[in-house]
Amino acid sequence: MTIEFESPKPIVQTQFVLKTVAEEMMRSRSRYFDEHEHEIPWDYIEFMHAAMKSLGAGSLAPKEKGNGKGGDQEKEKRPPIAYQVLAAQIETLAWGDVGMYLVTPGGSLGAAAVQAAGTTEQKEKFLARFASDKPTFAAMAMTEAGAGSDTSAIRTRAILDEKTQEWVINGEKIFVTGGDKSITKYEKLGKGYIVVWASIDPAAGRAGMRAFVIEAGTPGVCVTKLEHKLGIRVSDTAAISLQDVRLPFDHILGSPTVEKTTTGFKGAMATFDATRPLVSASGIGVARAALEFVKEKLAQSGVTLRYGLPRQKLTNLEREVMDMEIMLKSAWLMVIKAVWMADNKKPNALESSMCKVKAGDVTTRITQKAVEIMGPLGYSREFLLEKWFRDAKITDIYEGTGQINRLVVARHILGYSGSELR
């Protein structure tokens, strides 16, 4: 078996195009949007939507393979690389500005949940809208004030109205990334939605969890708060209230049959298996930006990194920078493995959590060390390094904290269930 480390041509091409976007539309305005939190970068959103449409893509999301007929037969012979391309896209955009990357129009976690837990009909209905004439967003709402990492503690409730055959949902969700643009009806945006995780049977714990699609403009849905944050400040993080929200029966993702199985919880976890490597890629983009800044400033000061020498002959500065490079590359290789497995339909729950742990750790360590090495230059708002330091920390928090993902890794390796190892 031959292992190749050269990036496939589609990845190289997309990185080249998006690097220009990152430099011209993101880096140049990073400071402005960091200081004007919650101001929406409409020109970036509209540009990216138009660009993706011209490329035949409705959003930053992996595409289904062809049907194998005619010209698609040759495509079927090629190794699947959709998630690998997506990881490269995200890493490059996050290198530009991770907050602005998070406001790139598309399905994000909401679409990932539909992809993981929805029926064929639901995928066709809810994923097709990202190719509409207007930029469209989707988000996932899971976290609650009393249910963060412990998803079995979710209190949002979905009850079936037997007379109307509608679902009635009540609850409160917090820390919904992109929740405002997904659920609020903006004139410039298409009809987005949030995927809300609720319990149809609280006594059943995780087995009672189900996902529901709630579209923008649905009565009873209200954004009650936009968080003021340490980093990724241009990306809205919303608190959402759900009061007697009525949904069509088929807005429950997956089978409409209500049974006490773990299907709902497995749908949530399948969503994270697909998206945790992509979140990891975004963190790595931030870390790469910080590392490149350090190397650039050192070069301008006449400092040369002497590769190839024994470690004991290097200066402490050289060792620190080289250690940062090692951390970055090892984290990226773990991401590549996880997305390769996703592309090839291989179970990647372990690898997904492993790369998330690694990326969360590496991103915070590299950006912190970069600030330390640069001293006053790293702490100054004259440069973006201090912003990248603030942006980096979220990588270790959302999509499952580093602690939770370490538990997931331990359970897989040691063979314990969630109830046995908490």
Q: Which residues are catalytic?
A: 399
CA distance 11 to 18: 11
Rounded CA separation 12/22 (Å): 15
DSSP 8-state assignment for residue 382 = T
Encode burial over 353-376: b for 16+ CB neighbours within 10 A, e otherwise: bbbbbbbbbbbbbbbebbbebbee
Q: Which amino acid is at 421?
A: L
252: three-class secondary structure by DSSP: strand
Give kind and range of the element (H or E) at residue 372.
helix 349-374
* Distance, first Cα to last Cα, the chain: 39
Q: In sequence order, what DSSP letters do the residues of 71-111 get, joined into one string?
A: THHHHHHSPP-HHHHHHHHHHHHHHHHHHHHTTSSB-HHHH
How many Cα atoms sit within 13 Å of 267 on the Cβ side? 31
- Secondary structure string (H, E, C) spanning 396-412: HCCCCCHHHHHHHHHHH
212 vs 65, 198, 321, CA distance in Å?
Answer: 26, 8, 47
Q: How far apart are alpha carbons 288 and 92 in whole angstroms?
A: 9
Query: Given the structure tokens 């970068």, which residue do they identify?
Result: 41
Residue 64: DSSP 8-state:
P
Using CA atoms, how far apart are residues 261 and 83, in angstroms rounded to an integer? 29
Closest alpha carbon to 142 in 4, 265, 59: 265
